[in-house]
Amino acid sequence: MTLHQPPPLSGLPDSAAAWLRGIAAAPRVFGGFPGLALLPADLPLDRAKAEALVAELAARYAAAIEDRAAVPGRVAALRAELAARKLSGLFLPLTDEYQSEYMPLRAQRLSWLTGFTGSAGSAVVLADKAAVWSDGRYTLQLAHQVDGALFERLHSTDNPPTDWLKANLKTGDRFAYDPWLHTEATVKRMQEACAAAGAELVAVDSNPLDAVWTDQPPPPLGPVRVQNLVLAGRTADEKRSAIATVVKANGADAVALTLPESIAWLLNIRGSDVPHTPLPLSMAILHNDGAVDLYIDGRKLDATVRQHLGDVRLHEADAFPAALTALGAARKTVQVDPATAAIYVLQQLEKAGATLVRAEDPCLLPKACKTSAELDGTRAAHRRDGAAVSKFLAWLDAHAAKGGIDEMAAAEKLQSFRRLSNELRDLSFTTISGAGPNGAIVHYRVTPETNRMLEPGNLYLVDSGGQYPDGTTDITRTIAIGEPSAEMRDRFTRVLKGHIALATAKFPDGTSGQQLDALARKPLWEIGLDYDHGTGHGVGAYLSVHEGPQRIAKLGSAVPLKPGMIISNEPGYYKTGGYGIRIENLVAVRVETEKAESGKRWLGFETITRAPFDRRLIDLTLLTAAEVAWVDAYHALVWQDIAELVDDATRAWMKQATAPLGA
């Protein structure tokens, strides 16, 4: 018995069963399945029965992927499949054909094969050995979840897969990769490793793992929705025309778009196919006259969306490879972003006779520079979100020191406050809820096994966000449970000083985030401390919470910051085994001086997040008068924008939380 035909679906027509399987393969949001809204009226079962069947299917999908007891048999089956294809091994990354941060169940191949559920990793399976890689965030998780008798458990930086391949492949080996799951750069590195070992790198027509994953979920079936013009600020036709002009200037007849977020932005649509990010999984071809061919499961599109798309030519998702072949056969010049497109796209075009223009996805930069409507929407979303976070902070202040609250309960309570507005569509990522030493794990994800109580004398770090129709939020607050130590207050205040330095930065047009990163680190550097993550990432407008091309980091993007870009300001400090501190607000790049004495335009940041900092953690002796004034001004804005959106008890708490620091 397989998930494709479990007993509950056995009496249904194939088309009806396919609907239910696809809906179950899309993420559940707050207990419900958005795809149920798509069900045809003539489906031979009522809504309640359909919902029950979808819930059962989803549970089966998840249980099968997480079934670690089945891992030895799965590895053996994969090896048998590789042998039957005369292949010596397979490289398996944690990604999908869209190179997405968040992936549908169908793409959770790494978890299914190895048992590892972290958000970054890869695996290699050879005939006589195998290995799994991840970074330092997941060292303990690898040890806990991955069977050391089946896989070596390795650090992706200290012992990267390419080094392992050089050491373990043999002359004459035929090592396989799925060209839909790798970019050109990763394939080049694999080719070099295989060549060093005397092996051959082989692109497979179909993934060998999929051949043995007999109960693999189908592609997800989540509804597509229109992003209204009042929120988008520019029509899809305007965007299509602008991007087509760029494509034509690059000497291309068309551009192949493989990032769903680019397509969502371009066509003013949103989807529900993956967790936390409203992506409509799809690919598209934009021609240099503005015409668009969209490759998407047509079942996701209701009449309203089809009317909105207008003259966009619609095709089923599986028609995209043939479209690439047709472009090649017509000897077209096609723009492709080699950094984000699967190498399959480049290979298929070149093989068919197309000329490639390797250039960045032309939607990335204009998508990052938000319209005034998107900025207004984001501000509104942050006011709403700030009210929810403030309610949570007031609740936490009243109850945490008494005991009885753990990390999971705190995260659930915060989510419940966000949902009160009835505007929350999803979290923008899984909440990082870390107490004490768990807060020192930068990308910590609480599980029943790691769940800690919030105890007096500890710090509690909560990094969270929401997806609203008018904006995406991301905020981190660090809270003292009881009385903090002098060291905690010192470190928090230094992080705050760095946060203020970046928030108040003024810089000439053309400055990149990489050039600003040190501003946020200087107060920690002064005492020999640092943090091992970037200071800021781009954020979308009801899209990805991690958006490029802008970034603030030591090795960040060289792309200059532009007005309208939204980016996080999140310095931190982490004492391993002790506590973590991070202060995160989102900021929008704005024009400060249109034409300075130098003749250049000068830019700065508008802080758009609205929630108080924990005053108990601020050491006033470390702040300058200007820094105190900035905190007071920020708290005044929080009070101004949030006080009328919260209940009386929260408002009373906020009155104290946002009072001037000297008061």
**pLDDT (tens digit, 9 = 90+) per residue, 614-628?**
999 999 999 999 999
User: What single-letter amino acid sits at 153?
Assistant: R
Q: Which tokens belong to 37? A: 């809204």
Q: Are 344 and 437 in contact (CB under 8 A)?
A: no
**pLDDT (tens digit, 9 = 90+) per residue, 440-485?**
988 888 989 899 999 999 999 999 999 999 999 999 999 999 999 9
Longest dimension (CA), the chain: 77
Beta strands across the sheet bearing 152-155: 152-155, 130-134, 122-126, 89-93, 174-177, 200-203
**pLDDT (tens digit, 9 = 90+) per residue, 81-132?**
999 999 999 999 999 999 988 899 999 999 999 999 888 899 999 999 999 9
List own/partner pairs for 432-435 with CB under 8 A and 24 or more apart: 432/461, 432/462, 432/463, 432/464, 432/476, 433/407, 433/408, 433/460, 433/461, 433/462, 433/464, 434/407, 434/460, 434/461, 434/462, 434/580, 435/406, 435/407, 435/459, 435/460, 435/461, 435/481
Q: Is the pLDDT of residue 141 over 90?
A: no
Q: Is the pLDDT of residue 283 over 70?
A: yes
Residue 493: CB atoms within 10 A of its CB come to: 20
Bridge partners for 226 per DSSP: 269
H helices within 469-555, ranges in order?
A: 486-503, 513-525
pLDDT number for residue 1: 34
Beta pairing, strands 292-295 & 313-315: parallel
Torsion angle of C-alpha atoms 627, 629, 631, 637, degrees rounded to 10: -150
Q: Is the pLDDT of residue 579 over 60?
A: yes
pLDDT number for residue 7: 57
Helices (H) and strands (E) in the chain, counts: 21, 28
**pLDDT (tens digit, 9 = 90+) per residue, 254-263?**
999 999 999 9
CA distances (Å), 537 to each of 340, 342, 496, 548, in order?
Answer: 17, 23, 18, 7
**pLDDT (tens digit, 9 = 90+) per residue, 39-86?**
998 888 888 999 999 999 999 999 999 999 999 999 999 999 999 999
The backbone torsions φ and ψ at residue 609, rounded to the nearest 5 degrees and listed phi first, read -75, 145
Say how far apart CA 267 and CA 142 lie, in whole Å: 40
Q: Which tokens belong to 180? A: 């839909």
Segment 181-190 mean pLDDT: 96
Q: Are 117 and 111 in contact (CB under 8 A)?
A: yes
pLDDT number for residue 229: 98
Given pLDDT bands bounded at 50, 70 and 90, which one contains residue 596? confident
pLDDT number for residue 4: 47
Segment 569-578 mean pLDDT: 96
Segment 401-421 mean pLDDT: 96
DSSP state of 609: -
For a pLDDT cut of 70, what percent of the chain falls above it? 99
Q: Is the pLDDT of residue 136 over 80?
A: no
pLDDT number for residue 542: 98
Would you call 384 helix, strand, or coil by DSSP? Answer: helix
**pLDDT (tens digit, 9 = 90+) per residue, 237-257?**
999 999 999 999 999 999 999
pLDDT number for residue 2: 43
Q: Are 140 and 107 in contact (CB under 8 A)?
A: no
Given pLDDT bands bounded at 50, 70 and 90, which one contains residue 144? confident
Provide CB contacts within 8 A for 633, sequence distance 6+.
Answer: none
Say how far apart CA 607 and CA 626 lie, in whole Å: 16
**Confidence (pTM):** 0.95
Token pair 């101004």 is at which residue?
Answer: 640
Given pLDDT bands bounded at 50, 70 and 90, which one contains residue 593? very high
Would you call 530 helix, strand, or coil by DSSP? Answer: coil
Bridge partners for 467 per DSSP: 426, 472
Segment 302-321 mean pLDDT: 98
pLDDT number for residue 153: 95
pLDDT number for residue 401: 86
Say how far apart CA 566 and CA 607 lie, in whole Å: 10
**pLDDT (tens digit, 9 = 90+) per residue, 326-360?**
999 999 999 999 999 999 999 999 999 999 999 99
Ramachandran quadrant class, 62 (left: phi over 0; alpha: psi -120 to 50; beta: rest): alpha
Say how far apart CA 272 and CA 600 lie, in whole Å: 43
Residue 388: CB atoms within 10 A of its CB come to: 28
Q: Is the pLDDT of residue 377 over 80?
A: yes
Encode 335-380 in three state secondary structure: EECCCCCCHHHHHHHHHHCCEEEECCCCCHHHHHCCCHHHHHHHHH
Would you call 603 helix, strand, or coil by DSSP? Answer: strand
Work out the end-to-end distance of the chain between its first and last CA atoms, rounded to an integer number of angstroms: 69
Closest CA to 336 of 312, 320, 314: 320
Q: Are 517 and 554 in contact (CB under 8 A)?
A: yes
DSSP state of 35: G
Q: Is the pLDDT of residue 491 over 90?
A: yes
